[in-house]
Amino acid sequence: MHLKSQDILFLLKLVSIKGNDWSFNRLAIDLGMSPSEVHAASKRAIKAKLASKAEGQIRPIIRNLVEFLVFGIQYVFVPERSGLNRGMPTAHAAEPLISHFMSNNEPPPVWPDPEGEVRGESFSPLYKSAPYAAKSDFELYQLLALVDAIRGGQAREREIAKKELKIRLENYG
């Protein structure tokens, strides 16, 4: 079994909906994935001990998820960077981190998106449909931006993102 990036997207979506009822079909629509992809992500997350199933409900195991995101994700899902592109800001260029950093002359990291309003350095999203999912769920967008800061940020950006992510995840449920 190999953990996939969409598994993390699935888990972050569960965090963003805060324990509310959901279905595989609903999450598939929200995440821009097929229901079978979402179901497979849930199975892998449970097997990796990042989620548990009890009473028919799948819930993230927050302690394990925090540990993986803080200490492991930057080594497993390394972002690809490329030239300038239009897109959605991420990492330190998006909420909640943007207020922690002064603007410099460097182009901000962005998920490539032809409808994007910011020009910056292309930064590959955690999963191809993450920008789509983030457009309709601001909480998920913030979680993904924090994860991106950990995946590809400088030391100071990573440390602030880790602290902020821990706070948000520990407030789950």
What is residue 108's DSSP assignment?
P
Under 8 Å between Cβ of 145 and 90: yes
Encode burial over 16-26: b for 16+ CB neighbours within 10 A, e otherwise: bbeeeeeebee
Per-residue pLDDT, 133: 97
Pairing mode, strands 109-112 and 57-60: unpaired
For residue range 140-163, list pLDDT tens digits in order.
999 999 999 999 999 999 999 999
Give 117: exposed, middle or buried? Use CB within 10 Å, 0-12, 13-18, 19+. exposed
CB atoms within 10 A of CB 15: 21
- Domain assignments of the chain as residue spans, ordered by start: 5-74, 79-170
pLDDT bucket at 173, cuts 50 / 70 / 90: low
Which whole number is the average pLDDT over 14-20?
93
Q: What is the pTM of this model?
A: 0.95
- Name the token pair of 143: 């979680």
Q: 73 in helix, strand or coil?
A: helix
Chain centroid, CA 84 distance in Å = 22
Per-residue pLDDT, 50: 98
Under 8 Å between Cβ of 49 and 3: no
For residue range 93-144, list pLDDT tens digits in order.
999 999 887 667 789 999 999 888 999 999 999 999 999 999 999 999 999 9
Per-residue pLDDT, 100: 84
CATH code that applies to domain 5-74:
1.10.10.10
For residue range 31-51, list pLDDT tens digits in order.
999 999 999 999 999 999 999
Q: Residue 172: pLDDT above 90?
A: no
Report the C-alpha gap between 149 and 93 in whole angstroms: 9
- With pLDDT > 70 as the criterion, what percentage of the chain qualifies? 98
pLDDT bucket at 171, cuts 50 / 70 / 90: confident
Which whole number is the average pLDDT over 11-39?
96
Q: Residue 52: pLDDT above 80?
A: yes
